[in-house]
Amino acid sequence: MKFLVILSALVALCAGHAIPTTLGDNSHYVEGESRYVWIPDGEGVLRLVDLEEPVDESSLDAGNGANNEYWLFTRLNPNNHQLLRINDDDSIRNSNYNKDRPLIVIVHGWTSSGNSPLNPLIRDALLHDGDNNVISLDWSIVASSPYTTAVRNVPSVGQHLGNFVQWLINNHGGNWNNVHLIGASLGAHIIGNAGRTVRGRIARISGLDPAGPQWSDNPNGLNRNDGVYVECIHTDGGLLGILDPICGANFYPNGGTNRQPGCSLSLCSHDRAYELFAASVRYNSFIGRRCTDLNEARNNSCTGSNLHMGNTDFSKRGTGLYGLSTGSEWPF
Which of the residues 95, 156, 209, 269 is marked catalytic?
A: 209
Distance of CA 301 to the CA centre of its chain: 25
| Nearest residue to 286 via CA among 323, 242, 328, 245 | 323
Q: Say if residues 302 and 289 touch (Cβ distance below 8 Å).
A: yes
| Nearest residue to 248 via CA among 236, 233, 258, 267 | 233
| Active site annotation includes 209 | yes
Q: Say if residues 39 and 53 touch (Cβ distance below 8 Å).
A: no
Work out the number of other CB atoms within 10 angstroms of the CB of residue 1: 5
Which of the residues 116, 185, 206, 269 is marked catalytic?
A: 185
Report how far apart, in Å, the C-alpha atoms of 155 and of each of 151, 211, 219, 250, 330 are: 8, 14, 10, 22, 34
CA 250-331-111 angle, to 5 degrees, is 65
d(CA 148, CA 82): 31
| Nearest residue to 67 via CA among 146, 130, 156, 5 | 156
| Active site annotation includes 185 | yes
Q: Is residue 328 classed as helix, strand or coil in its secondary structure?
A: coil
d(CA 235, CA 67): 30
Which of the residues 244, 270, 271, 308 is marked catalytic?
A: 270
Angle between helices 186-197 and 147-172 (to 10 degrees): 40
| Nearest residue to 243 via CA among 31, 98, 62, 89 | 31
Give CB contacts under 8 A, 24+ apart, made by 88-94.
89/171, 89/172, 92/168, 92/171, 92/172, 93/172
d(CA 158, CA 32): 24
Supply the residues annotated as catalytic: 185, 209, 270
